[in-house]
């Protein structure tokens, strides 16, 4: 019982996923600062920011649909915690179950859906604009990610278990070492970029335009739940990408962890570079990018995967 509690609450559970996500977000902020010739925040800044939110009062708009407004960030965080623990236990402890890939896919839909519902329930005009943008963006990047996921499933022998997707890479080579796998990896990176709301896909919150958009009416612990969700996604999404496409196995446990951290840092670095060399896209340009460039590329990747390329 104690072992199970430690497994789900400490390592590789809730505390580990939150800590790694906060450090990943700090690294992205630090890299952005260095790109802009600034010093950047200290490593503990994200922890302080979250702590401050839980010490502040929660303000609920008078005209809001209060039940949905309050429940949305809680449900969003619950889904992120579940997906983070499933992925971390699978990667570090080889704990898997039949159909876990599909479960993860569904759980990853929930945070975006409840950010939209929370924004709609607030009745704020700017939040409504943010919700509309997030809805359109979600309809674009989810199709791209599904194409990426299908490629990984095909390369694992049509298995929908993470253990099989990881196992086939250990026996042969990482999926990224093939043409179709490299395409799927690129699609997954852009999916993570949009899912996390990082430039150039931050139009749903766009501080300079709609003043935080979807979360403009949130404050205190409720905003803290959304912030923790985002921090944990900074770990779980790169971990999902690593599991699907760049899993490398070595005998030494130390080297395995070293390789994982190197891969994690590299993915954060790639997303930071994309952020800092691109302006925010208009929503129609983002939709065109996902639908008319990345999705056809995903279809090509699926065809190549069917032929073993």
Q: What is the pTM of this model?
A: 0.94
Q: 118 pLDDT exceeds 80?
A: yes
Q: 249 pLDDT exceeds 80?
A: no
Q: 76 pLDDT exceeds 90?
A: yes
pLDDT of residue 276: 93
pLDDT of residue 97: 87
HEC secondary structure over the chain:
CHHHHHHHHCCCCHHHHHHHHHHHHHHHHHHHHHHCCCCCCCCCHHHHHHHHHCCCCCCCCCCCCHHHHHHHHHHHHHHHHHHHHHHHHHHHHCCCCCCHHHHHHHHHHHHHHHHHHHHHHHCCHHHHHHHHHHHHHHHHHHHHHHHHHHHHHHHCCCCCCHHHHHHHHHHCCCHHHCHHHHHHHHHHHHHHHHHCCCCCCCCCCCHHHHCCHHHCCCCHHHHHHHHHHHHHHHHHHHHHHHHHHCCCCCCCHHHHHHHHHHHHHHHHHHHHHHHHCCCCCCHHHHHHHHHHHHHHHHHHHHHHHHCCC
In the chain, domain spans: 2-306
How far is residue 219 CA from its own chain's centroid? 22
Cis omega (within 30 of 0) for bond into 200:
yes
CA distances from 72 to 5, 107, 247 (A): 27, 14, 34
pLDDT one-digit tens code per residue, 45-67:
999 999 999 999 889 998 899 99
pLDDT one-digit tens code per residue, 272-307:
999 999 999 988 999 999 999 999 999 999 999 999
Contact between 227 and 49 (Cβ < 8 Å): yes
Q: How confident is the model at residue 1 (pLDDT cuts 50, 70, 90)?
A: low
pLDDT one-digit tens code per residue, 193-212:
999 999 999 988 877 777 78
pLDDT of residue 13: 82
Mean pLDDT value across residues 237-251: 89
Count CB atoms within 10 A of the CB of residue 46: 24
Q: How confident is the model at residue 93 (pLDDT cuts 50, 70, 90)?
A: confident
Contacts of 279 (CB under 8 A, 6+ apart): 199, 200
Q: 244 pLDDT exceeds 90?
A: yes
* Summary mean pLDDT of the chain: 91
């Amino acid at each position: 019982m104690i072992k199970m509690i430690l497994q789900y609450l400490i390592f590789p559970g809730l505390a580990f996923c939150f800590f790694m996500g906060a450090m990943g977000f700090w690294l992205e902020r630090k890299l952005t600062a260095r790109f802009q010739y600034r010093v950047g925040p200290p490593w503990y800044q994200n922890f302080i920011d979250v702590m401050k939110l839980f010490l502040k009062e929660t303000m609920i708009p008078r005209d809001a649909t209060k039940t949905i407004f309050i429940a949305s960030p809680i449900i969003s965080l619950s889904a992120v915690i579940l997906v983070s623990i499933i992925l971390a236990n699978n990667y570090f402890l080889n704990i898997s179950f039949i159909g876990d890939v599909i479960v993860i896919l569904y759980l990853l839909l929930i945070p975006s859906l409840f950010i939209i519902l929370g924004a709609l329930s607030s009745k704020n005009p700017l939040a409504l604009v943010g919700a509309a943008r997030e809805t359109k963006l979600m309809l674009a990047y989810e199709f791209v990610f599904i194409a990426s996921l299908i490629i990984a499933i095909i390369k694992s022998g049509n298995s929908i278990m993470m253990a099989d997707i990881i196992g086939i890479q250990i026996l042969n080579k990482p999926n990224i070492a093939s043409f179709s796998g490299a395409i799927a990896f690129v699609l997954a990176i852009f999916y993570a970029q949009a899912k996390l709301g990082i430039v150039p896909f931050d139009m749903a919150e766009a501080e300079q335009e709609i003043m935080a958009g979807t979360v403009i009416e949130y404050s205190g612990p409720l905003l803290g739940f959304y912030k923790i969700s985002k921090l944990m996604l900074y770990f779980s999404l790169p971990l999902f990408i690593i599991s699907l496409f760049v899993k490398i196995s070595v005998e030494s446990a130390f080297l395995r962890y070293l390789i994982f951290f190197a891969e994690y840092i590299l993915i954060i670095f790639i997303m930071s570079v994309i952020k800092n060399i691109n302006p925010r896209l208009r929503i129609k340009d983002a939709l065109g990018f996902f639908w008319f460039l990345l999705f056809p590329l995903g279809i090509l990747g699926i065809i190549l995967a069917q032929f073993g390329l």
